[in-house]
A and B are shown apart, each in its own frame.
Chain A
Amino acid sequence: MNLYREFRQKSELNGVSQRSLTIALAGQPNMGKSTIFNLLTGLNQHVGNWPGKTVEKKEGDYQHNHHSIHLIDLPGTYSLSANSPEEIISRNYILQEKPDLVVAVVSAANLERSLYLVSELIVLETPLMIVLNMIDVAEQEGIKVNAKILEAAIGVPVIPMIASRASGVRELLDYIDKFIQGELEFQPNLPQISTDHQHVKELIDQLIDGFIPEFYPKNWTSMKLLEGDVEIYDILKTVLPLERWETIDEILKKHEDAGLAIASGRYEWIERNVRAAVDRPKLGQVGLTDRLDRFATHPVGGLIILAVILGLTFWVTFTIGTPIQEWMDSKILLPLGILAESMIIDAPPWVVSLVVDGVFGGMGAVITFLPIIIIFFAAFGFLEDVGYMARAAYVMDNFMHWMGLHGKSFLPLFLGFGCNVPAVMGTRVIESWPARILTILLAPFVPCSARMAVLAFIAPAFFGNYAVLVSWGMILSSLAVLLLLGVVLNKIFFKGERTAFIMELPLYHIPNWRSAILLIWQRSLSFLKHAGTIILMMSIVVWALSEFPGGDLETSYLAQIGNFFTPVGNWMGLDWKLTVALISSFMAKENAIATLGVLFGRTEELGLVQTLSMTYTPAVGLAFMVVSLLFIPCAATVAVIKKETGSWRWTFVNIGLMLIVSIAAASTVYAIASAVGL
């Protein structure tokens, strides 16, 4: 670390142009920061996690005028206080890693609010540039901002931009070039602390002098202490001699209101700087966002709109996705399988069987789900980018309260309809830990597209024309189970604890297509990687278990496993084949079909659907659908639950919960269905 810093200090003496430059992109949420990052780096980016944290870290590179630039996308944060892991990551990155330049993205449409982060960034020692984004959205709301006047007031470069149309990017690159050449002058006008707290701050400055940990500027540290910053408080408590610390602690207790005063002071600084630069709308003018929100956030109308939008999302996903899936199945997968079989026809029979039944039958079937998942995520991403999803969270807030959650938990749960993995990761938007854990526990109860596909496959086998009705009934029932469990779990684990609901409703705006497509591309890639590893492995394992030891299915290891669990399966009317199919769905939900394909495919000439309807009664079919919908989360979901909760205990609570609920529900359904003669 020290060597690295020394190297950097030396190279600074030789001029920054001699080496690659590191720029950090900072900004509050909903400022279009990701779009700018995508415009600059394109496909040349890497998504990972910040070390030791479940916060996404995006890095990328670009070349401009022979300079190679490394771009770090800091997490979107409203401030640099220690309220969240994202905020701590952002400030520690800037303070400790010392990027050459920080580019702060602000929105012309909520200029004052978005400049709050700038008021915190500007006091750090790293040079700062401001991108004034969303000029078009501001104009749509009747607000005009003059970038030149703002630049003169704050004393750092301000570059106007409309990132959604990629306008202003060239100007940003030119400014960065000028910065590299040392042609830019920075004379930042710094916010001052209000006079009534000035003497207190000076007192603290003296007391902490000489004890401040490396990286932290003195001025900044005392300010954060006064603000009530938890992280800085804890650090100084350990490094300061007890006597000094007690004096400071007493001062801080006496000035508990300082946090509010400091925030007010920053906003006063902002108001002074924007006063001349902003042309306010005429009083009484109603912008597009307010006109749309009259409907979108209405307690009744908003719910109807939400229901229509969700319905449309599913309708589009399955009307476009299902034919593509079937087409891929019959026109790509099948011919490829035949081609592969003809190419290895001379190989031993078990190799042929491995390729045809194992790889193509198992993993191949799963890959055909890709179109459905891509379309669902594209629709979700679009609704989010446009600004609608925050309204959905708002109108769902009342319902989420029944479970002790608030509106924000609705978003990850909804994402779960596509895939439970991003749903569990999406719970990061929830600030309170108990609410987050509860949302994670509930997320796997949302029927993901893979489980809905299993449903769509099995239902017609037993219910013919009523299949659609039965499927919808199943999905609604599983959501009812989710709600009921949420209410109960909240009472048991979280004692009905309430958490604060504070959420920005961003202005509606048209997203950038390039950035949106890039996001879909990244998500598809990670799904394919998943299919190519876990699901392929599982397909081969299932195949091997069904082939060995004797090459005969009835005596295979798979049959033995199935037989072992059959007593439990029998409660739900499942024989060993269905039990095995259920167990194999642990690796990936779609495997249930793939396994049935392997198990029945070789003994029957008829299609799998017909075979199933001839082998089992509708009561068994019903029970199998119920247990498949509610069964333990797939391996990938279990992996992210462990990662996000950081605890095996919660992970096993989740698995155990689903195991009990699914078996109990399916057994009940089977008993009732058999009693009424299905």
Chain B
Amino acid sequence: MQAIQNIISLADLKTGESGTINNLKAGRNINARLSTLGFTPGVLIFMTHNYGHGPIVVTVRDTRIALGRGEAQMIFVSRERE
């Protein structure tokens, strides 16, 4: 396993792909809510559903969380490749 260090937004991760959270840039309040739910830098995140439009579902720390596309665009990840 080798991580390629180009940073993309979570919204650009495709269904079935995973990534590592690099940073949250959603503003103080939303950052606080997200980090409480387990979105912290370094954590592995799995894209459960991303249909290219509308909200997405990710799995982070065994929890499925639905996110608006706008929120997903403010979470930055590095994509994991096999």
Contacts and interface: CB of A to CB of B under 8 A. Distances in A.
Contacts of B68: 397, 406, 500-502
Interface in A386-401: 390, 393-394, 397-398
Contacts, number: 115
B40 to A, nearest CB: 4
Nearest to B49: A297
A143 B62 contact: yes
B13 interface: no
A110 B63 contact: yes
Interface string B21-47: 000101011111111111011110000
A581 to B, nearest CB: 44
Given A81-B36, A259-B35, A293-B49, A498 B70 contact: yes
Given A500-B71, A502-B30, A293 B64 contact: yes
Contact of B65 (A143, A289, A406, A503): A503
A333 interface: no
A290 interface: yes
B67 interface: yes
A139 to B, nearest CB: 13
A112 interface: yes
B48 A293 contact: yes
Interface stretch (A170-178, A260-268, A354-362, A619-627): A260-268
B62 A109 contact: yes
Which one of B53, B54, B66, B67 has the greatest number of beta carbons of chain A within 10 Å?
B66
Contacts of B51: 299
A289 B32 contact: no
A400 to B, nearest CB: 10
B64 A505 contact: yes
Contacts of A310: none
A420 interface: no
A398 B54 contact: yes
Contact of B71 (A110, A263, A290, A502): A502
Contacts of B49: 293, 297-298
B58 to A, nearest CB: 10
Contacts of B35: 259-260, 263-264
A83 B29 CA distance: 8
A112 B65 contact: no
Contacts of B53: 299
A605 interface: no
Given A500-B30, A500-B71, A501-B55, A407 B37 contact: no
Interface string A486-507: 0000000000001011111101
B57 interface: yes
Interface in A263-322: 263-264, 267, 289-290, 293, 297-299
A260 B21 CA distance: 12
B41 to A, nearest CB: 6
A79 B39 CA distance: 14
A143 B48 CA distance: 18
A264 B32 CA distance: 11
A290 B65 contact: no
Contact of A113 (B28, B30, B61, B71): B61
Interface string A139-152: 00101000000000
Contacts of A507: 64
A462 interface: no
Contact of A502 (B34, B41, B48, B54): B34
A260 B66 contact: no
A382 interface: no
A449 B74 CA distance: 42
A232 B1 CA distance: 44
A78 B31 CA distance: 14
B56 to A, nearest CB: 10
A397 B41 CA distance: 27
B40 A407 contact: no
Given A83-B33, A293-B48, A394-B55, A504 B65 contact: yes
A503 to B, nearest CB: 5
Contact of B31 (A113, A141, A260): A260
Nearest to B64: A505
B71 A501 contact: yes
Nearest to A506: B64
B13 to A, nearest CB: 16
A228 interface: yes
Contacts of B42: 264
30 contacts: A81-B36, A83-B32, A109-B62, A113-B37, A113-B61, A113-B63, A116-B36, A116-B38, A228-B28, A259-B31, A259-B35, A264-B41, A267-B61, A290-B48, A297-B57, A298-B49, A299-B51, A390-B66, A397-B54, A397-B55, A398-B55, A501-B55, A501-B66, A501-B67, A502-B30, A502-B37, A504-B65, A504-B66, A505-B65, A505-B66
Given A260-B24, A264-B35, A290-B48, 8 more contacts: A83-B33, A110-B61, A113-B62, A397-B68, A500-B70, A501-B68, A502-B66, A503-B66
Which 10 residue pairs spanning A and B have beta carbons closest together?
A501-B68, A263-B35, A505-B64, A112-B61, A264-B40, A79-B36, A110-B63, A110-B62, A394-B66, A503-B66
